[in-house]
Structure 1
């Protein structure tokens, strides 16, 4: 399919102007900055800098690519409540291309992507959700506009300022990479080696984590400090176990032995039911879900370790793996 690049250069408003136009008050804006500083483990002295940077910064062009995925990452992002952080993410950026959220389709959609790349060369961000079929696999496993996913990824990130791999599939290969991995699915960082890549794993990821990574980039011109797996330490530095609301029961050696025994009903530790909290790093226990309502372990389900590499193939779910030693 021949796609004609059509320039769509328009002055991007600053983030401050965009938020004001959406009715976000100065008080709410400063509250956002304070919250983000806290989530990123920054001192309160960083709040004025974040506020000043966000007020003046232009909304960066973002091209969002989706490959082998279930749409859960986008669904998580769009589950907004009354002025939550995830609701503000779409006002911090100029989302110029997204399969599921854009109105355009076909050639018009491709024109928008190519125009955004040309008009913002060197300055746009590429966000990717979903694993990428490996270059050695049959490209017919997944194509967009007649191009294999790996070709499309490398073309799009060529002039990007940075790349954000959203969700475990993009960050580590996720479920598509599970054995026997017929598509040769791989992580974004396996293919993109010449650009800064930040991984935000989770199945799906926590929306506030996505916002936090963006806010840090907008305020400081760089992604936050990352761990050895390319994840922001501010969100993935501690294990689920460190902040689990069932930790007291773990320390007292009180474990549920089945999902319907008295221990489970009393909220005891789920370690013997296969909880991977001690070896999983994420902010689920502190940020929680649905506007801070709950999270899987709080609802009675063991942590499956979805924000760790290879979580699907490591071993069987709901079976203790000896992770109940006193810590």
Structure 2
């Protein structure tokens, strides 16, 4: 098995200056709520540890999570995130298809047993033997279970994978089920959003590289650093909400005075 280049080595080869690299490490430390004392540890991890192999599966979904992720104009996503991971399998992005691509997935599972990250976008149809989402002639549920078996951890990317989203709504004809209800013996981090914010993925991977484990999660399995507070708690209109002063119609007196929407 060939030695994987580190994140820092990849950036250097692409002409990214060290100052930008250090800025990124500092930014990720802030995102994760880490002490400034830990920034050197993040830098060391990025310089010394190989990129994490990632298998990215797609279940029942619209692919908006991937589309938003790869088309972002934010430099963190465009220049850094896709260099930060070794994205070796993704049926949306991979050049190979069919049996060739499935062979790649199984090779990654063999070569990086216990070391790869499984990212899952979309949920799992469980009714009618999983016929509503098939991969290489097998049900997505079987492919998910097979791939999850030797994964280091699982990232449920987007609301569909995290909590089921619209496919999971009644009457749920396909039996759409979120990932954590299918896989129960692996560390799972939920990153909800439709689509989710790409910096959250960056933060999770940074934490994994630096500390060898997932970041602290809330009761819903989400990273506390990113989902610990609500926009509502810091809204400039919050005082009007607490006072029960709400906008009733478009352009009424309350709207002009900035009341709660």
Q: Shorter-chain TM-score: which interval?
A: over 0.9
Partner SS for 2:248:
coil
1:69 partnered with 2:61 = yes
Residue 283 of structure 1: aligned partner: none
Partner SS for 1:230:
coil
Aligned-CA RMSD value: 1.8
Residue 110 of structure 2: aligned partner: 118
CA positional deviation for 1:263: 4.2
Equivalent-residue separation in structure 1 for 2:74 and 2:198 (angstroms): 14
Change (3 A) 1:19 1:237: same
CA positional deviation for 1:114: 1.1
Equivalent-residue separation in structure 1 for 2:235 and 2:87 (angstroms): 35
Partner SS for 1:84:
helix
Partner SS for 1:16:
helix
Change (3 A) 1:48 1:97: same
Unaligned runs of 5+ in 1: 1-8, 271-327
CA positional deviation for 1:253: 4.6
Partner SS for 1:78:
helix
CA contact (8 A) 1:78 1:87 kept: no
CA contact (8 A) 2:118 2:147 kept: yes
1:105 partnered with 2:91 = no
Partner SS for 1:64:
strand
CA positional deviation for 1:252: 5.6
1:193 partnered with 2:196 = no
Equivalent-residue separation in structure 2 for 1:260 and 1:146 (angstroms): 56
Change (3 A) 1:181 1:27: same
Unaligned runs of 5+ in 2: none
Equivalent-residue separation in structure 2 for 1:15 and 1:188 (angstroms): 29
Equivalent-residue separation in structure 1 for 2:256 and 2:206 (angstroms): 40
User: What is the TM-score of this pair, normalised by structure 2?
Assistant: 0.94
Equivalent-residue separation in structure 2 for 1:82 and 1:72 (angstroms): 17
Residue 315 of structure 1: aligned partner: none
More helix by share: 2
CA contact (8 A) 2:125 2:141 kept: yes
Change (3 A) 1:161 1:241: same
Equivalent-residue separation in structure 1 for 2:88 and 2:176 (angstroms): 26
Q: Equivalences for 1:72-221 in 2 at 5 Å?
A: 72-81=64-73, 83-85=75-77, 87-134=79-126, 136-221=127-212
Change (3 A) 1:31 1:199: same
Equivalent-residue separation in structure 2 for 1:95 and 1:74 (angstroms): 12
Residue 238 of structure 2: aligned partner: 247
CA contact (8 A) 2:69 2:77 kept: no
Equivalent-residue separation in structure 2 for 1:30 and 1:81 (angstroms): 21
Change (3 A) 1:43 1:146: same
Equivalent-residue separation in structure 2 for 1:221 and 1:211 (angstroms): 15
Equivalent-residue separation in structure 1 for 2:209 and 2:255 (angstroms): 44
Equivalent-residue separation in structure 2 for 1:246 and 1:21 (angstroms): 47
CA positional deviation for 1:86: 5.9
Partner SS for 1:104:
coil
Equivalent-residue separation in structure 1 for 2:62 and 2:34 (angstroms): 34
CA positional deviation for 1:268: 3.6
Number of residue equivalences = 261
Equivalent-residue separation in structure 2 for 1:253 and 1:81 (angstroms): 39
